[in-house]
Amino acid sequence: MRHLLVALVGTLPTSTFKNYLLRILGWEIGRSTEIGPGLYLRLTVVKLGDHVRIGPFNVFRDMAEVRLGARARIGQWNWISSALPLVEARGGGYLRLDNDAAITARHYLDCSGGVSIGHHTTVAGVRSTFITHGIEWRSAAQTSSSIVIGDYCIISSNVALTPGTVVESRCVVGMGAVAARTVGPEGTLQVGSRVTAVKSGLEGLYFTRYKGYIRDIKARD
């Protein structure tokens, strides 16, 4: 019954009253947090920090844990889910965003093995795919493994991350890259269908900023 009530309340527009109802239903919600209308179905534990923003029309389904740190943001039209049989058998089923991390719009995150995203990291652009489970052809068994992304990273559009991928902190992963291993070392630009470091020692304000979500649009000369 609680899951059904959460799903119904989840479709309501953003409001303090909506937050109040979700707290009654077991969610932990910080101050000045905004939760847009979407599908929130069978979420076991939800912990949202202060000033979190979840945009409209997201799907959260069959998650053991959704934990968003202070000022973390999730845009709109994202699909975030896990496979319950795998979660029950092997654990996982979580999405954890550290403080000031962001996921923009229209991404697909399979969280069966768990997804962790470090502070001030941006899953940018659109249509990136995170997959944390699959079929192991030698044993003909379903397996799962977590994806871990470090701090101050940029994951560009159309990036595919496979089970067990680890992205070191301060890495920029270029558009269309496919990651199937540890992506590093720290502070590198990674590109290509088999991610390869093409530049090291990255420097810039992105890697030292204190503000999380980047939304300023500067006029061109």
Q: Has this prediction a pTM greater than 0.95?
A: no
Q: Which of 108, 123, 98 is nearest to 214 (CA)?
A: 123
Q: Which residues neighbour 75 within 8 Å (Cβ) at sequence distance 6 or greater? A: 55, 102, 103, 104, 105
Name residue, tokens 């109040």: 20
Question: How much is the pLDDT for 221?
Answer: 42
Sorted by where each starts, the structural domains of the chain and their CATH numbers stand as 44-207 (2.160.10.10)
For the chain, residues with pLDDT lower than 70 are: 216-221
At 16, which amino acid appears?
T
